[in-house]
Structure 1
Amino acid sequence: MKKNILILKQICKCIQKKTVLNQFYMNIQNGEIVNLIGMEDSGKEDVFSILFGQEKIDSGEIVFNRRSYTQMSQRIVEHAGGIFFINNDEPMVAELSVAENLYIVEKMNYFKRSVSRKKMETQAQFVFAKFGIDIAPGKKVGELNAFEQRILRVLRAYVKRAKLIVINDLMDDYLWQRMDKIIRILNQIKEEGTSILWINSYPDKITEIADKTYVIRQGKNVTTFYKGEYEKEKILNCMTGSANTAEKDLKHSLKNTYAFEVRDLSNFYISSTTFGCRSGEILGIYDVQNKFSRELRRTLLGRRFYNGSIRIGGKEYQAEQEYGAVRSGLGIIDGSKYQDHIFEELTILENIELPIYKKNARKRMFVNSRVTEYIRQKEYEFLDLKKRNIQDKAIGLTKGEAMRLIFHRWLWVNPKAICCFQPFLRLDVESREFLYRIFLEFAHKGTGVIISSANVADLTPICDRIIEIDGNKIKESVEKSYFPDMFQN
């Protein structure tokens, strides 16, 4: 018989006089996978912060495992052996082994006595075999790839007898190709009575298989979808409050000149590869494993020795350092690191203006105020940072806000070609639509746009052509008219 494991009753929360949660409710029963989905600033992060103990509720009630909490000021439930939290910022102890991280990393002795390393490794091997995971228990965690570390975090919660595992914004390029394995593991855990709360910003495969999906917007419940009711468009419309426009036919003109070319490019991973992107073209690279794309990015940044040639705007490009790419008219953007390229001591406007100060300066000394004022007016119209002034310091920008700033910075540079690696990673529907608009803006200016993604559904709405990658080489090039036949989104 199902029983309630977590109930949120009419939760209200205000931060700096702004209501972030308004009568929000949610109910999770044991052995359920529940999806909480919403855009940035929808309130889903505040739900996570309250459960995690970072924030208190102003009113309402939280019932976990039949115990009521009206002020969640501490992580009482986690220390009582109930809720375990997993997110991208959760630390792992790289110097310890897999087995040690699995059992003793938080100084909790679940065996109630001193346990030898050998016994921990034996027990870890048993757990891995049960879930079909091929990881050596004695291996240092620092030697694991990103996917293996995420699996270890989930299994750590399992061995600690979690009643509820809260997984927040865990998707990245490593997980797209392994979602079936993630789903299998979560279903196994679910069958043993543990519940999963999966929090995300965009519908994914977990949303498809969830027992319930709660859509939150502006701190309020919008609707709840139950298993079998999944429709991506309906969920997107509920998240935004309007019809989704990302899938509309987007047209622009292509030129005959090439903005970006690689000829017989090869390194220790990439096999002799030739492809190009025309000026004004939006070219997709569909790379499920993402290894080819990572090596291409590192090669363009001068971090890999390579054979063959790279040409930008018809001129030979020598890959050395990132500033060399900028001088050559090549933009390189890594979607997993938007916030790493923000200078918080500068204002938002200054962050955008950085690349054009040299062009904008009179006699290389004084900034042209008329140009600056023109930029400021254009940014107010297009940047769409709803809750910020571009004269504010760029402190605490969300991922979506940082993304907008980075792309506008490049828009003013007007590069010949721009390579975007996993640009849609963990972005909500509104930010994705913004990306589509700005990619079109680049294309209309004649920039060649190259977009790499492990999820083909990111590429089909916007790309003129998609190159499909198989391992370390190009499998085929597909024109837009053939997308419906070749790619099932």
Structure 2
Amino acid sequence: MELLKMEHIKKSFFGVTVLDDVSLAVNSGEIHALLGENGAGKSTLMNILSGVYSRDEGKVIIDGNELPNGSIAASEAAGVAFVHQELNIFNDLLVYENLFLGKEKAGALGHLHKKTMIETARGLFDELGIDIDPMKKAGELDTGRKQLLEIAKALLGNARLIILDEPTTALNRGQIEHLFRIIRTLKEKGTSFIFISHKMPETFEIADRYTVLRNAHFIISGIISETNPEQVTRYMVGEKYSNEDVYERRSLGEDFLDVKNISGKGFRNVSFRMKKGEIVGFTGLQGAGCSEIMQTIFGSLPLESGRVQLGGRMLESGSIHMAMKNGIGMVCANRKENSVLPDMTLLENMYISRHAIDQKNWYISKKKEEESFAGYEHTLNIKINSSDDLITSLSGGNQQKVILARWLYTNASLLLLDNPTQGIDVGAKEEIYRLILHLAQTGKTIIVNTLEIPELKKIADRCLIFYHGELRADLTHEEIDEEKVMLYATGAIPGQASGSEEKNV
């Protein structure tokens, strides 16, 4: 029996269409996989279903009744619950307090019936087979139990349709199996799930049916047992890949970066080598560990085991200052939060890192710095009025160029670029690609982390693909193909990284 029907949904933000005539149907007691690449429209569609966003056109119908537009309360009353990837757990509250937050059991005078809530929590956990003490602080739970606590909260609110957004990203295999057992048990009792995941093996393990979105459009729905991971990947990727390439093959220098068996936050036992002047792309879905590896090399995250050598020198773990002194620069993923100093001028944003590591010259000559800035302004084609303007006066692309100039000014020999074209328009992206290639031509060694596979094809000499914290494949430029990369990145094929130990010797 059909529980949910979303018909001809349309949604735009500031004139940009993010959903265009999208439909979705989910049956009672069904696990429905909602699939698509980043930016396909999955989260927007679910936010419309849960009432967070209003829809421009279309209908949302549950049990034959159309829901009012943009009403969280109406969606919750209809039995819709959204378990987000970023869990809404208050670590300083007890487990039962998290469970009943906003749904407290109280007497006529507002006195809380703590004993009743604790006993109800215990009964619910026992029914689900969850080993959680209601009197424990939520912050003491591991990620898997926090995920189960979120599901228990949804069930306490009489949820009939639970949206799970990337629920296994931070879980180990044992936790995933436990989660899936609970999902199947609830399915047998009639609860429906919308399961959002990029991980193909898990999707095919748990889902009954699927729907694919691509570029804000509905592509196909079907029965999961009647397709395969390769076919679904083709639906997700489509024919959007462009063969137009700015990539140029170059002569590479000697071995320069040697990463051996490193483990840290979000990744384990990773090894690779790079030559001077080489561009290596990192890619993988959220939670794959790519960004964490770069942060560890840069010293902002501690190295738990293994070693990193740069130009034959062993790098000190957990020290950004030493990484900078050893010639490492990092353009962080979130430019606004982690790179841009909004109250400083363009000039100050450029020279701040240089003077942070220059122990010999404490005096700042504005004339000298302006001459240096003018050189980078020309080389990087930074469009400005004056170097005394605040950096926030520039477009995203030009801000990114100033941050890049910051690290070039430190004479960094290894550049770590974490999603360098994030939030940048198409024209500026092409400029950034050509700049990266130019810098490699001058001898800079560059790691670029990106989720955009066509980006890798435009700039990378090699591509390292990560899945759940492990290196799964090491592809040459000729081997980089969107479908192939997606298969490794989602775990649709397990892969075996041949590693730079063989490819780059």
Under a length normalisation based on structure 2, what TM-score does the superposition of the two structures give? 0.65
Match of 1:470 in 2: none
Post-superposition Cα deviations, 1:306-325, rounded to whole Å, max 9, x if no partner, equal 89975321124333522421
Indicate the residue corresponding to 2:80 in structure 1. 83
Matched-pair contact (CA < 8 Å) for 2:281–2:464: yes
Determine if the alignment matches structure 1 residue 241 to structure 2 residue 238.
yes
Aligned pair partner of 2:473 in 456, 459, 463: 459
Change beyond 3 A, Cα 1:413–1:56:
same
Q: 1:389 to 1:120 in 2, by over 3 A?
A: closer
Partner of 1:55: 53
Paired residue for 1:142, among 139, 142, 145?
A: 139
**Alignment: residue pair count:** 426
Query: What is the letter of the counterpart of residue 402 of structure 1?
Result: Q
Matched with 2:369 is: 364
Given that residues 339 and 399 in structure 1 are in contact (C-alpha distance below 8 angstroms), is that contact kept between their aligned partners in structure 2? no
The answer to whether the 8 Å contact 1:98/1:138 transfers is: yes
| Residue 36 of structure 1, CA deviation | 1.8
1:328 paired residue number? 326
Deviation at 1:193, TM superposition (A): 0.8
Q: Equivalent residues in 2 for 1:77-476 (5 A)?
A: 77-80=74-77, 82-101=79-98, 103-109=99-105, 116-174=113-171, 178-200=175-197, 203=200, 205-206=202-203, 209-242=206-239, 257-260=255-258, 277-279=273-275, 301=299, 310-330=308-328, 340-341=337-338, 343=340, 345=342, 363-369=368-374, 371-376=376-381, 390-391=397-398, 402=422, 427=451, 431-435=452-456, 438-440=459-461, 453-454=467-468, 458-459=472-473, 461=475
- The one-letter code sitting in structure 2 at the alignment partner of 1:172 is T
For 1:31, the aligned partner's letter is: G
Q: Is the 8 A contact 1:167 1:199 kept in 2?
A: yes
Alpha-carbon distance, 1:331 to partner = 5.7
The answer to whether the Cα contact below 8 Å between 1:33 and 1:196 also exists between their aligned partners in 2 is yes
The residue type equivalent to 1:73 in the other structure is G
CA–CA separation in structure 2 for the residues paired with 1:172 and 1:331 = 29
Structure 1 residue 342 displacement after superposition = 5.1
Question: Partner of 2:44 in structure 1?
Answer: 46
Residue type of the partner of 1:135? I
Q: Distance in 2 between matches of 1:115 and 1:13?
A: 42
CA RMSD of aligned residues (A): 5.3
Of 21, 28, 45, the residue aligned with 1:23 is: 21
- Conservation of the 8 A alpha-carbon contact between 1:261 and 1:275: yes
The alpha-carbon distance between structure 1 residues 358 and 339, as it changes in their structure 2 partners (threshold 3 A), is closer
Separation in 2, partners of 1:455, 1:479:
15
Q: Which amino acid aligns with 2:89?
A: M
* 1:380 corresponding residue in structure 2: none
How far the C-alpha of 1:477 sits from its partner, in A, is: 9.1
Alpha-carbon contact 1:214-1:225 (below 8 Å) kept:
yes
CA-CA distance at 1:363 after TM superposition: 2.6
SS at 2:258's partner residue? strand
Aligned equivalents of 1:281, 1:29: Cα separation in 2: 48
Q: Hey, what's the Cα distance between the residues in 2 that align with 1:65 and 1:375? A: 58
Q: Structure 1 residues 178-187 or 123-132, which shifts more?
A: 123-132
Cα distance in 2 between the residues matched to 1:39 and 1:290:
15
Taking a change above 3 Å as real, the CA distance of residues 224 and 285 of structure 1, as seen in their structure-2 partners, is closer
Specify the alignment match of 1:471 in structure 2.
none
Give the Cα separation in 1 of the matches to 2:467 and 2:29. Answer: 33
More off after superposition, 118-127 vs 225-234 = 118-127
Q: Partners of 2:26 and 2:42 in 1: how far apart?
A: 15
For the 8 Å contact 1:64–1:77, the answer to whether it is kept is no
Partner deviation per Cα, 1:124-158 (whole Å, 9 max, x = no partner): 34443444433333221122233332222122212
Deviation, 1:390, is 2.3
Q: Secondary structure at the match of 1:62?
A: strand
Q: Which residue of 1 aligns with 2:362?
A: none
- 1:104: Cα distance to partner? 1.1
Q: Tell me if the contact between 1:5 and 1:64 (Cα under 8 Å) persists in the aligned partners.
A: yes
| Contact 1:209-1:227 within 8 A present in 2 as well | no
- Residues 37 and 202 of structure 1 are in contact (CA less than 8 Å); yes or no, is this contact kept in structure 2? no
Alpha-carbon separation, structure 2, partners of 1:173 and 1:438: 30
Q: Distance in 1 between matches of 2:147 and 2:445?
A: 34
Secondary structure of the residue that 2:39 maps to in structure 1?
A: coil
Distance 1:306 1:152, change over 3 A: closer
Q: Structure 1: how far apart are the matches of 2:257 and 2:342?
A: 35
CA distance in 2, matches of 1:339, 1:176: 35
User: Scaled by the length of structure 1, what TM-score is found?
Assistant: 0.67
- Pick the aligned partner of 1:37 from 30, 35, 38: 35
How far did residue 163 of structure 1 move? 0.7
Unpaired runs of at least 5, structure 2: 244-248, 356-365, 383-394, 402-417, 480-495
> Which blocks of at least 5 consecutive residues in structure 1 are unaligned?
378-387, 444-448, 465-475, 484-489
Cα pair distance change 1:305/1:480, threshold 3 Å: closer
1:166 is paired with a residue whose SS is strand
